[in-house]
Structure 1
Amino acid sequence: MRPVWRTLPRRALATAGVLGLLLAGSTRLPDQAPDEELGLLVLRVIALVGALGLAFLLDDPARNTSAAAPVGRVLRTALRLGLAAPLAAVWWTTAVLLIPSAARPHAALVTLEAAATAVGALALATTAVRFTDFAEVGRNTAIRLGSVAAVMFLVPSRWGLLTTPEDRWWEATHLRWAVLLLLTLAICTAWTPEPLKRRRHGRPTGA
């Protein structure tokens, strides 16, 4: 536990956490409370900011030396998640409560979106760890996640993930969010263990 704690990307996680809470708190500054649509937009941006922080969670400067350790990647990753998940849950709850009640969207549905976004970031990071030898994959993962988020803004509401409660595809959208969450969880589960063949300098070697 102690070595894992020392290698956590605390700076990235803290920066994302502080920025997210500042965004949530900014909705209380205007004299007039924002409407629900703006509250939903702010929470989606906060969820993305949090996911960008989690993109760095699997960064491990000691990865190349810890690969031969008796403690496998599954346990090391589980320890990282065990340390970060409770803090992330408290952070998200605080952010939601900071949004004025008049502007706060359906908490369960927006939390589903946040969970899928966070696990999506972890799935991208898990894929990078699985198929590369880089010790720190967070920066490239954050870039990829930001690119995916930018593309989603361009997808029409009928097929996209960013509808509003007034949109007739609101419920169908959250079915897609649920499918995305299950898919990214499956990716994390399947690709977290070390492969049978290790990679060195981009080339597979014997098991």
Structure 2
Amino acid sequence: MSRGLVRAVGRTLPWRTVGGGAFVGLLVVGVPRLLVGEMDGWLGLNLLRAAALVFALGLAFLLDDPARQLTTPVPTRRWTRTGLRIALVAPVAAVWWTAALLLVPAQARPPLGPVTLEAGTTAALALAAAAAAVRFTDEPEPGPSVAAGLLTLALLAPALIPSRWDLFVPPEDPSWTAAHVRWAVVLTAAVLAGVACAPEPVRGLRARVVS
């Protein structure tokens, strides 16, 4: 992979949007710490969940490309360009998540592995939805629609998911481990869906639907 390709892809990334999501996500965790005297584990967990969602909303814009119609016919395949976009943002996401965790006081910090699994799954869902929008629509910048859909899903999920499949449980809940097995299943499904949607957009989809 050439340095020229890395630089070219890096210039097209929506750094401001991703950075805005990261900044607001840190505020979600940091501001309550300043305002609340004592933070308990349930509050710390939900603040980290909210921060992960905000950051994922920024990631929903990662595959936006205003010049999509021009970049489609280039020799480098779309899955390569998509993978490179994710690879360039991954270190930023890792540093951001570390900072978010450190903003939560140690006594209120949930188990790191499970909550990181939740955050990774949320990010993977955003990226998979963005990849699906790029593959199956002609919209060069599907980010706003993807972000709106992800936010709606996050708000409705606690009410729509049956209790026996609940994902949003506290650490002291007996189903904490089982819930994170379900989180792992969702993560796997999101990754597989994202990979499946990574190739070039489907041609003539609209015409086939109309016919």
Q: Under a length normalisation based on structure 2, what TM-score does the superposition of the two structures give?
A: 0.91
Q: Please name the residue that 2:188 is paired with.
A: 182
Is residue 2:199 matched to residue 1:203? Answer: no
* Structure 1 partner of 2:152: 147
1:80 and 2:85 are equivalent in the alignment: yes
Moved over 3 A (4+): none
Go from structure 1 to structure 2 and tell me whether the alpha carbon gap of 1:164 and 1:156 turns closer, same or farther (over 3 Å shift).
farther
Q: Deviation per CA, 1:11-48, whole angstroms, max 9, x where unpaired?
A: 21111011111122124314622100000000000010
Partner of 2:18: 13
Q: 1:39·1:99 contact (CA, 8 Å) conserved in 2?
A: yes
CA distance in 1, matches of 2:151, 2:56: 10
Report the count of equivalent residues.
Answer: 202
Please list every run of 5 or more consecutive structure 2 residues that lacks an aligned counterpart in the other structure: 1-5
Tell me what 1:118 maps to: 123
Superposed CA deviations along residues 74-111 of structure 1, whole A, max 9, x for unmatched, are 11111111110110110001100111111100011000
State how far apart, in whole Å, the 1-side matches of 2:35 and 2:164 are: 33
**Which residue of the partner structure matches residue 30 of structure 2?**
25
Contact 1:4/1:79 (8 A) holds in 2: yes
Give yes or no for the alignment of 1:160 onto 2:171.
no
- In proportion to residue count, which structure has more helix? 2
In structure 1, runs of 5+ residues without a counterpart are none
Work out which of the residue numbers 54, 59, 62 in structure 2 matches 1:54: 59
CA distance in 2, matches of 1:31, 1:160: 28
Say whether 1:129 aligns with 2:134: yes
Which of 190, 199, 204 is the aligned partner of 1:193? 199
- The match for 1:64 among 69, 79, 90 is 69
What percent identity do the matched residue pairs reach?
50
Mapped to 2, the partners of 1:21 and 1:175 lie a distance apart of 27
Question: Cα deviations across residues 100-151 of structure 1 (Å, max 9, x unaligned)?
Answer: 1111000110000000000001111111111001100100000110111011
Residue in 1 aligned with 2:175? 169
Match of 1:59, SS?
A: coil
Q: In the alignment, which of 35, 41, 49 is matched to residue 36 of structure 1?
A: 41
